[in-house]
Amino acid sequence: MNISTTKLFAAQIYWNTLKNKALRVLLGIVALLIIYAAFSGALIYQEQTQTRQHYQHEVRTNWEKMPDKHPHRMAHYGYIVFRPKHLLSVFDYGMESFTGNAVFLEAHRQNSANFSEAGFSTGMLRFGEISMSMILQVLVPLVIFFIGFGAIATDRENGTLKMLLSQGATWKEILTGKAIGLLGIAVSVLLFAVVVLLVACLGIAGSQINGDDILRIGTVLLTYTLYFSIICLLTVIISAVSRTAKFSLVILIGIWLTAVVIFPRTAQAIGNFLYHTPSRIAFEAAVEKDLIKKGDSHNPDDPYYKALKDSVLKAYHVQSVDELPFNYGGFQMKEGERLSADIYNQHLAGLLGIYQQQNNVLRLSAIVNPFTALRNLSMAVSGTDFQSYTGFQQQAETYRYALAQHMNDLQIKYISNKKPDDHDHPPSISKAHWKEFPDFAYQRTSLGTVMYHELWSLLALLCWTAGLLLLIKLLSNKLKAI
C-alpha cells in the first residue's frame, strides 16, 4: 500500500468536507451543542456540589452541637451522607439523574439513597439529557454517516472510481485513505470537545483537577477515538459495497437506529425478563422476616437474646445484669446491630447479584454493538455508572454500621446498668463524644479498578476495530468498480 496515495485520499475527503458550506454549518452546530453541553454540565456540577457540601456541613455541625444525651438516642438521631459528584460528570451524566444522592443512616435500619433528579423532574427526563457524551456517542456518528455515505458509492455512480483504479490506485488505498479522512474529522470534533471539557472543568474546579482526572480524560480520548474509528471504517465499508449512495445512506441510518435506539433497549428488556428483581416492599419484607426469625434485640423476652443474657451472666458469675461491669443494654444492642447488618447485607448481596446479571446481559451485547461498549466505558470513567453508585451505597452502610456500633460501645462503657430513680436525670454522656466520630469520607474507585470492571467493553471496541480493518483487507481483493 502506497502511503502517499493513502494520504491523498484522506486529505481529499477531509478538506472537501470543510469546503462544503452545508457540512461546515452542520459541524458548527455540533460545536455549539458541545459548548452548551459542557457549560450546562459544569453549572449543574457546581450547583449540586455546593448544595451537597453545604448540607453535609450542616449535618455535621448539627451532629456536633447535640447536647449531652444517651448514646443510643444519638444512634437513632442518625446521620445523613451525600454522594459527591465526580468532576467528569460534567462530560457524562450517566445514571446520576436516576440514582439517589443522599442516605439517612440510623441504628437497626438500612435506607436506600434518595432525592434523585428524576424524582423531582417531569417525565421529559426520559427523553434524555444533552451531555457532551450524548453528542459524541449519538450525534457525531450520524454526522459521519452523512459525510461519508457517498465516499465510495458516489465515485462508483459517476465513474470516478473506475478512473482511480485504472490510474494505479488500489482498493486498499482508497478504503483506508477515505476512512482516515473521516476519522480526521471525527477526531477534530473529539479534540475540540476535550479542550472545551478542560476549560469547563478548570472554570469550576481550578487546581482541584488532579492526575487521576487527567488520566480519565486521556482514557476518554482513547476510547472515543476507537469508537470513531469503528464508525468511520463501517461508513467506508458500507459505501464501498453499496451500488448507490442513496442505498448506502439508508443502510447507515438503519445501523444507527439499531445500535443507538433499538438494541440497547432490547438488551435491557431481555435482562429484566431473564433476571427479575423484587420490588422494594418485597425486599424489605424478606429482610424483616429473617430478622424476626433471628430475634428482636429490643424485646427482653426474645428467646435468642434471653439465651444470650443467660450465657453472659454465667460467664461473669453474676445473678443479674446490674452486677455486670459493663452496660448490658449496649452489649445487647451491639449484638442486635451485628445480626441485622449481616442479614441485610446477605439480602443486599443477592439483590446486587441480580442487578449485575441484568447489566451483564447489556455488557455482553457490546460484542455486537460498539455503542453499548463505549457507553459503559464512558459512564465508568466518568464515575456515573452503576458500580459507582453501589460503591457509594456500600461505603455509606459501612459508615452507618461503624456509627451505630460506636454509640453502642459508648453505652457499654459509660452508661450504668442501674436504672435511674424518678428524681434522677436520664442517663447521658458528654456531647464531646459526638465530635470523636469522624465525618463520612467517600473514596472514589480507582481508574485501574474501573478499567478492570469494563475490560469486556474495551476488548469489544478493540475487536470491532481489528475486525473491520481485516474486513477492509479482504474486501480490497473482491470489490468491483461497477
Residue 208's pLDDT band, with cuts at 50, 70 and 90, is confident
* Residue-averaged pLDDT of the chain: 87
Using the structure block, give the residue that is written with the C-alpha cell 483537577: 209
Percent of the chain with pLDDT over 70: 94
- Domain residue extents for the chain: 3-475
Q: Are 377 and 385 in contact (CB under 8 A)?
A: no
Report the predicted TM-score, pTM, of the whole model to 2 decimal places: 0.89
Task: Tally the C-alpha atoms within 13 A of residue 162's C-alpha that lie toward its C-beta.
Answer: 6
Q: Which of 161, 184, 165 lies closest to 239 in space, CA to CA?
A: 161
Give me 32's grid cell. 455549539
Q: Which of 96, 101, 116, 85 lies closest to 213 in space, CA to CA?
A: 85
Q: Are 335 and 297 in contact (CB under 8 A)?
A: yes
Q: Are 152 and 240 in contact (CB under 8 A)?
A: yes
Mean pLDDT for the stretch of residues 459-463: 94
How far apart, in Å, do the first and last CA atoms of the chain sit?
22
Give me 328's grid cell. 448490658
pLDDT of residue 117: 54
Residue 310's pLDDT band, with cuts at 50, 70 and 90, is confident
Mean pLDDT for the stretch of residues 12-18: 88
Residue 279's pLDDT band, with cuts at 50, 70 and 90, is confident
The lowest-confidence range among 138-147, 184-193, 345-354 is 345-354
pLDDT of residue 150: 87
Q: Which of 127, 153, 154 lies closest to 138 in space, CA to CA?
A: 127
pLDDT tens sequence across 244-274: 889 999 999 999 999 998 988 888 888 888 8
Q: Is 90 exposed, middle or buried (0-12, 13-18, 19+ CB in 10 A)?
A: buried
What is the rounded distance in angstroms from the CA atom of residue 196 to the CA atom of residue 32?
Answer: 11
pLDDT tens sequence across 350-383: 888 888 888 888 888 888 999 999 999 999 999 9
pLDDT of residue 357: 87
Residue 4's pLDDT band, with cuts at 50, 70 and 90, is confident
The lowest-confidence range among 39-48, 154-163, 328-337 is 154-163
pLDDT of residue 119: 45
pLDDT tens sequence across 366-425: 889 999 999 999 999 999 988 888 889 999 999 999 999 999 999 998 888 877 666 667
How many CB atoms neighbour CB 317 within 10 A? Answer: 7
Q: CA angle, corner 264, sides to 262 and 270, nearest 5?
A: 100
What is the rounded distance in angstroms from the CA atom of residue 356 to the CA atom of residue 366?
Answer: 15
Q: Which of 130, 125, 127, 54 lies closest to 90 in space, CA to CA?
A: 130
pLDDT of residue 283: 85
